[in-house]
Structure 1
Amino acid sequence: MSALFTPHQLGPLTLPNRIVMAPLTRNRAGAGNVPTELMAEYYGQRAEAGLIVAEATQVCPEGQGYEATPGIHSDAQIAGWKRVTDTVHARGGRIFLQLWHVGRVSHVSLQPNGQKPVAPSAIRADTKTFVGGEFVDVSEPRALELQEIPGIVAAYRTGAANAIAAGFDGVEIHGANGYLLDQFLRDGSNRRDDLYGGSIENRARLMLQVAQAVAGEIGPRRTGIRLSPVTPANDARDSNPQPLFEYVVEQLDRLDLVYIHLIEGQTGGDRNFGAGFDYGALRRRFRGSWIVNNGYSAEMAETAIGSGYADLVAFGRSFISNPDLVTRLRRRAPLAKANRATFYGGGAEGYTDYPTLEAAE
């Protein structure tokens, strides 16, 4: 599996291997949605990854959709994340922050003043969110007014600047999994009749404006984006995703972003969901680094890298229970199994207490 352990140049960063830790929501932020010392230890334990993409982090209070998820819009949050990045860098790692606005995937109890979540259109998603220690139905959203949209773009721009101030090496824009930017992309959630609805060009407008704003703020070689063309996550639906995502990737390529992080199939599930979608057509439209994700084994990852299909492979759940995943893959050692009961919320149990291979031996 030698190809997985070769260096890769990602903008200004030299990654020592091709293994990316995917962003994973763990619901362990402290009061004020501030990252904690426990989170710093969690990410520091996983610093041998070629690149860590830290968990989805809301760019504004209205962007929150789940309890105890971190933000990047207050001074305290920036300071909390600085402890995380300092720990990762001290252990030789590299770390990006995923910038997030959930849009309609939220609950009124998480919104400022109990207001309705915002969305491209007033269509409630058939999905759930995590509130009060359990999963509950999301709330009915309201459609964003046209004059509010520049404020969304500005929140992402400020979030990117705050991420750099917190010591991150770059950011990943969350454009996947049925959250706000993805909601605008898809005709199943976007019924607008203005500049942000209708045609593919209009539905892609917000995502591209956000990407341009973020790249303009911190530089395109520190800016990546995550896409999930066919996933049904959070009620994401589109009648014809192939031309939609081919257009989006062509336009993102023009912005010279450092990478696209692509979820193949159903997020966290069936890789063959949406069979027939041509991912290669997207790959051929983008000159930057290409990260693939979803259910990759070490052997599949090796093939993807060795064939040139991908530059990097992101692993998610296996990083939860294997802080030294890179070492285990290199040694072809067994992987520890994760305790699903501790995925969302809680403390150190199922978070920072998974032993390394060396400790286990």
Structure 2
Amino acid sequence: MSTSTSPLFAPFKLGSIELANRLIMAPLTRNRAGPGRVPTDLAIEYYRQRASAGLIITEASQISPMGQGYLDTPGIYSDAQIDAWKRVTAAVHAEGGKIFLQLWHVGRISHTSLLPDGAAPVAPSALTAKSKTFTTEGFVDVSSPRAMTLDDIRSTIADYAQAARNAITAGFDGVEVHAANGYLIDQFLRDSSNQRSDEYGGSIENRTRFLAEVTDAVVAAVGAERVGVRLSPVAPFNDVADSQPQALFERAVERIAAHPLAYVHVIEGATGGDRDIDPSFDFAALRAKFSGAWMVNNGYDHAMAESRLAAGAADLFCFGRLFISNPDLVRRLREGRALNPLDAATLYGGGAKGYTDYPFLPD
């Protein structure tokens, strides 16, 4: 079997670590955490199996109990969670892999049944999203949020920093700040979800302030070379939109580029959907604002990644569902081998089926 010698499969220096290749396992919510929002033994095996990725970015993990929005998602705020993640990172490192943890606060994309004492979700403004979340009752409408106070904002920024420190304690190589897909930071960015009249709302400068301050705090906690940030400039996921997305996200990238981050991770088009949902949006203009590693995501296959790498359009390429069904995806792409089909019915919740039982190529 021929093996590709493409630079896609060559080592890449990311911050202070060396990746074995440029193929990244995207963050993928699987809803399989155990009691206490703790990763289970199955999660250890799941991530270990996929350690040949240049970098694994974990499933989104809430930074606090108020950051949770879906049933059985893991956290990074308790000692039990840190201890469980230590076993995950040790397993990935034993296989020669690298792994970042994605830091998550869902904001208004939550339900009172998932939050402490049945609390209302928090958001930049008290605007209910036209969206659903996953609870013990299945998919239900999200609950109405309350607007965050300035004290809420300050304490949440501190939660991001502490969660980043916890991740490093748990053995992660770094963290990714989840500022995409209509969750809390993205809610602050967009004028459809942020109608504040204080220093966190109104102008683009004000609406990018929360992102900038979270990034500042996480960088101060663990170092810029251990931090990536994820953005989704035109994705309408979870009922967000903006009247000036180009200007907004160019300024957002400028503000986080004040730090020599490990990478910026951009979802091109609609999350998990149409790449050309806004054909007028200029992603190259965003990249021009950041001198570090540029990571891209959404519908990539081998040929498309090769083409974009050859054109100099990006440095790192995320694969999501292909990594779910192909734990040895790097080898399959490098050798031009067939791919396992995805069992979509087992994506969210459940046990080993559709999680750790996808076959590897024979040796």
TM-score range, shorter chain: over 0.9
Residue 115 of structure 1 corresponds to which residue in structure 2? 119
Residue 101 of structure 1 corresponds to which residue in structure 2? 105
Separation of aligned partners in 2, 1:111 and 1:274: 35
Q: Give the SS at the match of 1:113.
A: helix
Residue 214 of structure 2 corresponds to which residue in structure 1? 210
Residue 158 of structure 2 corresponds to which residue in structure 1? 154
Q: Give the SS at the match of 2:103.
A: strand
Separation of aligned partners in 2, 1:57 and 1:212: 20
Q: How far is 1:133 from its partner?
A: 5.9
Q: Give the SS at the match of 1:358.
A: coil
Separation of aligned partners in 2, 1:17 and 1:224: 17
Q: Deviations over 1:16-64 (max 9, x none)?
A: 1110000000000000000111100000000000000001000000000
Q: How far is 1:297 from its partner?
A: 1.3
Separation of aligned partners in 1, 2:240 and 2:361: 38
Separation of aligned partners in 2, 1:148 and 1:18: 38
Separation of aligned partners in 2, 1:286 and 1:334: 36
Q: Deviations over 1:234-288 (max 9, x none)?
A: 0111111000000011111112211000000000011111111000000111011
Residue 328 of structure 1 corresponds to which residue in structure 2? 332
Separation of aligned partners in 2, 1:125 and 1:175: 17
Q: Give the SS at the match of 2:257.
A: helix
Q: Is the 8 A contact 1:133 1:345 kept in 2?
A: no
2:169 is matched with which residue: 138, 144, 165?
165
Separation of aligned partners in 2, 1:34 and 1:86: 16
Q: Give the SS at the match of 1:136.
A: strand
Q: Which amino acid in the other structure matches residue 204 of structure 1? A: T
Structure 2 unaligned blocks of 5 or more: none
Separation of aligned partners in 2, 1:3 and 1:301: 11
- Correspondence 1:265 to 2:269: yes
Q: Which amino acid in the other structure matches residue 226 of structure 1? A: R
Separation of aligned partners in 2, 1:147 and 1:253: 26
Residue 140 of structure 2 corresponds to which residue in structure 1? 136
Residue 182 of structure 1 corresponds to which residue in structure 2? 186
- Once the two structures are superposed, the pairs formed by residues 2-21 of structure 1 within 5 Å of their partners are 2-21=6-25
Q: Give the SS at the match of 1:96.
A: strand
- Correspondence 1:295 to 2:276: no
1:357 is matched with which residue: 333, 355, 361?
361
Separation of aligned partners in 1, 2:260 and 2:186: 20
Label 1:62 to 1:191 Cα distance change in 2 as closer, same or farther (>3 A): same
Q: How far is 1:3 from its partner?
A: 2.3
Further displaced range: 166-175 or 142-151: 142-151
- Correspondence 1:310 to 2:310: no
- Correspondence 1:77 to 2:120: no
2:196 is matched with which residue: 177, 192, 196?
192
Q: Which amino acid in the other structure matches residue 12 of structure 1? A: S
Residue 238 of structure 2 corresponds to which residue in structure 1? 234
Separation of aligned partners in 2, 1:167 and 1:71: 15
Paired-residue identity, %: 61
Q: Is the 8 A contact 2:165 2:222 kept in 1?
A: yes
Structure 1 unaligned blocks of 5 or more: none
Separation of aligned partners in 2, 1:3 and 1:332: 15
Separation of aligned partners in 1, 2:128 and 2:260: 35
Q: Which amino acid in the other structure matches residue 182 of structure 1? A: D
* Runs of 4+ displaced beyond 6 Å: none
Q: Is the 8 A contact 2:15 2:261 kept in 1?
A: no
Q: Deviations over 1:127-184 (max 9, x none)?
A: 1111116211111101001222110100000000000000000000000000000000
Compute the TM-score of the two structures, normalised by the length of structure 1.
Answer: 0.98
Q: Which amino acid in the other structure matches residue 309 of structure 1? A: A
2:258 is matched with which residue: 234, 240, 254?
254
Q: Which amino acid in the other structure matches residue 3 of structure 1? A: P
Q: Which amino acid in the other structure matches residue 85 of structure 1? A: T
Further displaced range: 299-308 or 69-78: 299-308
Q: How far is 1:345 from its partner?
A: 0.3
Count of aligned pairs between the two proteins: 359
Q: Give the SS at the match of 1:209.
A: helix
Q: Give the SS at the match of 2:36.
A: helix
